[in-house]
Structure 1
């Protein structure tokens, strides 16, 4: 399960204060739990079964099995919300299905050439994920890789190797019907960054060999907690309240910290979720990440001694799993690290985490989200917990958590420059 530990933030936000704030804004919690008519076109994710129910899981697994029969490499052509969730799970759990290659998230000629090189010697299927089929990065990569498949396999065989996930009735669906590509519907009432528990990500995960039923089951556990618990026992709600208490006091940056590198791509998903949902109307806590031990001598230094406008939320893996133990033997030379003789790297890493958290908690608020394991079920929990918390936090902040008007500004200028 997931547990929110606020012990190391109580110097800055007391339990009594958090209780009072949560209770005073209980009407916001009630609205978030019920869903709101004004956001009806964006809240399909609130009920996990709507887009990850048994029928959808069945057809997704069937299509994934077919893809694995004809390919060992599956290319996700998508940007941001269209690839981050699946990538977070794949890169953390390393499932044993098809190899996943990521495209559609760059306009760099160098990187796109590298992607094509990665496909040589492999049997390939591509998946273009585009809700409105207007975003430049996936659109241009789709043309590039579609033409690569046609040149390599011929037009008819290439069509068997192309999957598209788009909006029903969109130009992308029309293209699929015209050319014979497989079409998968993009959840009609879910925005990109909230699509972790829809076919947008379920299909790539199933092709990779991940257990999508466990993912959905974990999310459903968090749905029960988030939508049915009161303001005292609802940890996602309390996290949202704590963030807004700190916002009101002038805190402007949140670091998502972790001492387990397997959370690296999850942190990218988290950054997009909160940045795109809350960063508008001149408001919003800036979301960044702190990967330890890699960044302890950079961002860790700033957190400890820099301007104290930030707070931290650590994800702490509490229980060692398979591969989480490695005992360091005794020294064979006078290397001055004799105090490590016989110690397990699990314990060494845990000592580094607890020391860092204690030191940082002296100067800034530190929350800890404790997680038992790294697997599909727990990723399902994480996706739902943070999505609900983000919805609640944005509502408390007074912004629309589901639009992204700022993204359109650069697109207008870019399309003008390209002659669209």
Structure 2
């Protein structure tokens, strides 16, 4: 469900640079769980195990209950605790869907204006809260939860609020676990062996998605399909092919930035999820590509000039090419043809979008000499999303080990937190 094309990537046969032996060694590190950070490889077979799990059945029942009771669902989380769910929501449902429950994502900012506006928006609406945090002490989501828990309790009372507040947190410890237990809030578990940026196929992503109307069974089945299809430890594996190609462009040809590009607006948050996955996984020990993203043709009118003629040998592009759009439109014909567009009326907008993709590819790869990797996605549906999540997670595992780093930790993230807590006067 994802095909990697390297025709425009300026790379010769990958096998001339990476040996089968090296690929096999890394594959064995992953599947035998002997590499750095291997205690966070729970995502490898999570989907097939969770599909028939008792907790997953309870999760879907809770989602159906919430859908019948509220107009708005507030999803509180930051980083991996919200990006995956929001990416899937946008990719699958589109940006203007007709689902009964409006999903609003908060806890990812400390913008006072944003939070105040959301508070004003939901104060007279029926809303529920999903609070997602492993520890329950991360500042951004914790602040949001305090504000909106108080609002909901004041609106409908403590007892009624119990039915509409859900915690997704550690199974046995932490501030949010303790809070949920003491107040009687329903809880679902963030697995110990799956890191935040890899957690979208756990309750972290599945509960918000089920409430938003996504068929989460299909999401998990997509991941299971990828797990089976991408098990081959060789360059015939599309995820390994992608990992090796981007690794070579970085280390052999000295590119510093990978720009993930989509021609679909509803893929923008998928690109944001990808940026966290690869940025946190690879950006350590003074190594790794800077993950960047653009939405074309929108960003062609802001960044296109720089990409085409700006400083060279900085970035290469990875293009997500969606073969079948969720919806399509025909160009209407007009009698006066004042805009001179009647020559397009035998084409759909998606056909024109793909012509734009080909034209940009020729301009960037051929004229500007910018390597382009193409990832062909079949669609933007639930099955494809689950497949894509597993594809990218497996690719970043191989890519991180190729760099010789631990792809599953994020020690640098803690530095800003320590500084912030000190400046805020947090008790030791």
Fold match, TM over 0.5?
yes
Q: What SS does structure 2 have at the residue aligned with 1:105?
A: coil
> Structure 2 residue aligned with 1:285, among 286, 289, 294?
289
Q: Distance in 1 between matches of 2:212 and 2:342?
A: 43
Equivalent residue runs for 1:197-236 within 5 Å: 197-226=201-230, 228-236=231-239
Q: Distance in 1 between matches of 2:181 and 2:299?
A: 48
> Structure 2 residue aligned with 1:382, among 385, 388, 406?
388
Equivalent residue runs for 1:12-411 within 5 Å: 12-14=10-12, 16-18=13-15, 20-26=17-23, 27-36=25-34, 38-49=36-47, 52-55=50-53, 56-94=55-93, 96-168=99-171, 169-226=173-230, 228-248=231-251, 249-307=253-311, 308-321=313-326, 323-330=327-334, 332-362=336-366, 363-411=369-417
C-alpha deviation, 1:395, in angstroms: 0.8
On the 8 A contact 2:123/2:151 being kept in 1, the answer is: no
Q: Distance in 2 between matches of 1:119 and 1:216?
A: 32
Q: Distance in 1 between matches of 2:19 and 2:207?
A: 38
Q: What SS does structure 1 have at the residue aligned with 2:63?
A: helix
C-alpha deviation, 1:151, in angstroms: 1.2
Which has the higher mean CA deviation after the structures are superposed, 255-264 or 51-60?
51-60
Q: 1:342 to 1:17 in 2, by over 3 A?
A: closer
**CA RMSD across the alignment:** 1.7
On the 8 A contact 2:81/2:204 being kept in 1, the answer is: yes
Q: Deviations over 1:216-272 (max 9, x none)?
A: 00001111122x213131010111111111111211100001111111110010011
Q: What SS does structure 2 have at the residue aligned with 1:405?
A: coil
Across the two proteins, how many residue pairs are aligned to each other? 415
Q: Distance in 2 between matches of 1:309 and 1:152?
A: 53
Q: 1:254 to 1:18 in 2, by over 3 A?
A: farther
Is 1:412 equivalent to 2:418 in the alignment?
A: yes
C-alpha deviation, 1:92, in angstroms: 2.3
Q: Distance in 2 between matches of 1:337 and 1:70?
A: 48
Q: Distance in 2 between matches of 1:116 and 1:18?
A: 56
Q: What SS does structure 1 have at the residue aligned with 2:145?
A: helix
Q: Distance in 1 between matches of 2:306 and 2:229?
A: 35
On the 8 A contact 1:166/1:183 being kept in 2, the answer is: yes
Which has the higher mean CA deviation after the structures are superposed, 206-215 or 358-367?
358-367
Q: 1:331 to 1:246 in 2, by over 3 A?
A: farther
Q: 1:129 to 1:79 in 2, by over 3 A?
A: same
Which has the higher mean CA deviation after the structures are superposed, 338-347 or 64-73?
338-347
Q: Distance in 1 between matches of 2:129 and 2:19?
A: 46
Q: What SS does structure 2 have at the residue aligned with 1:183?
A: strand
C-alpha deviation, 1:126, in angstroms: 0.2
Q: Distance in 2 between matches of 1:337 and 1:49?
A: 48
Q: Deviations over 1:37-88 (max 9, x none)?
A: 6524311111133663212432211111121232221110001111111111
On the 8 A contact 2:165/2:186 being kept in 1, the answer is: yes
Q: 1:364 to 1:119 in 2, by over 3 A?
A: same
Q: What SS does structure 1 have at the residue aligned with 2:336?
A: coil
On the 8 A contact 1:329/1:342 being kept in 2, the answer is: no
C-alpha deviation, 1:319, in angstroms: 2.4
Q: Distance in 1 between matches of 2:120 and 2:383?
A: 34
Q: Deviations over 1:375-407 (max 9, x none)?
A: 110000111100110111011011111111111
Q: What SS does structure 2 have at the residue aligned with 1:189?
A: coil
Q: Distance in 1 between matches of 2:425 and 2:222?
A: 46
